[in-house]
Every structure is written in structure tokens, then in C-alpha cells.
Amino acid sequence: MKNLPLALTLTVTLACTAAAAGLHDVKVKDIDGKELSLTNYAGKVLLVVNVASRCGYTRQYAGLEALYQKYQGRGLVVLGFPCNQFGGQEPGTNEEIKAFCQSKFNVTFPLFDKVEVNGPKRHPLYVRLAGPDSPFPGDIRWNFNKFLVGRKGEVLQRFDSKVAPDAPELVAAIEAALAAK
């Protein structure tokens, strides 16, 4: 019985460490259809965003690109995951989405294959980001929700669609994550 608190602490610590490190092992497809693992981004701070081309928040692409340009040298990578679950606002093909993002917003940050962020077909990445075992569980409510992920794959914060890429709270969180080693 004396060792029960120690055993519980160790179990919780190991479970949290495994969950945090586990984000990097998720497989994704980039916008060109190439499968890759998020281990490619290990050691980077990630801003994971579900995006759409026909949304009132679509102009956030410009702000996301500005964040990427400003902080990529320090280790930030913005990852855009198109999603058509909110009002059918991302109906295009991957090729159309890529062309739109490049021509309208000069997007250079990585874009990925269209995914579902809610429901029974929720992509494994979004299960880890917003599923019941996440530190920020709950359905994604709209396009341009943002998850800040630390260098070790731990989900640090979640930001609603209304939080613009240049919002002080988001910028401060990114800077804090980049400063952490």
C-alpha cells in the first residue's frame, strides 16, 4: 500500500508521456496525395488548422502564412487540413484547394488531404487533438480552429475560429512554445 501513490504517479506520467509523444506517429497525406508521418515534424512547434476556401474565415490564410513566414526559422510549422464538414465550404479537389491557396494567399505552409474533423470518420489526427483523451476534447465547431502542438508532440492549446492568427493570445502562446526546449 505504501507504494500505491508512487505506482499511480508513475502510471499517469507514463500514460501522459505516451499520449503526448503519440501525436508524431499519426500518418497523414499531403495535398499531393503523398503519405507521410508527423514524425517529419518532430522537434517543431505545430499550428494545426482545419481550413476551408469558401468560409468567412478564409482570409485567415493570409495571417497563417504571415505567422509561418515570421516564425518558421524558429521552428514553427503551420499545417492546413482542408475540411468540408461545415456548410460545404471546402467542396474542391485537392488540386483546386492547392491552386486557390497559392494564387489567392501565396500559401507556402504545408497543406494536406481533405479530412473529417468530427464524427465517426474523424481523422486519427483529430481524434488525438480533440478526442476524449485529448487535453482539449470536444467537437470542432467551425473552420479555422487551431491547435498548438509542442516540440514533443503534446497538445498545448486550442483556439476557436474567431481567434485570428495575429491575436495576442495566439502569438504569445506560439512564442512561449518556441521558447520551450
* pLDDT 10s digits, 57-85: 999 999 999 999 999 999 999 999 999 99
Q: What is the pLDDT of residues 8-59, one digit of tens each?
A: 333 333 334 334 445 889 999 999 999 999 999 999 999 999 999 999 999 9
Instruction: Write down the pLDDT at residue 2.
Output: 52
Q: What is the mean pLDDT of the chain?
A: 90
Cβ contact 60:90 at 8 Å = no
- Total domains in the chain come to 1
Q: Where are the beta strands (DSSP E) in 9-167?
A: 27-29, 35-37, 45-51, 76-82, 146-149, 155-159
The size of the chain, in residues, is 181
83 assigned to active site: no
Cβ(61)–Cβ(69) under 8 Å?
no
pLDDT of the residue at 167: 99
Using a cut of 0.85, tell me whether the model's pTM lies above it: yes
The conformation of residue 37, written as its DSSP 8-state character, comes to: E
**Confidence at residue 7, expressed as pLDDT on a 0 to 100 scale:** 37
Displacement of CA 166 from its chain's centroid (Å) = 16
Provide the CATH number for the domain around residue 113: 3.40.30.10
**Cα–Cα dist 131/61, whole Å:** 25
pLDDT of residue 15: 37
Question: pLDDT of 105-138, one tens digit each?
Answer: 999 999 999 999 999 999 999 999 999 999 999 9
Contact 124, 27 (CB under 8 A): yes
Selecting among 16, 55, 83, 101, the annotated active-site residue is 55
The three three-digit cell numbers of residue 108, written as one number = 507556402
Q: E strands, the chain, where?
A: 27-29, 35-37, 45-51, 76-82, 146-149, 155-159
**Eight-state DSSP code of residue 74:** G
Instruction: Provide the grid cell at 146.
Output: 487551431
- 18 lies in which domain range? 4-179
3 pLDDT higher than 80: no
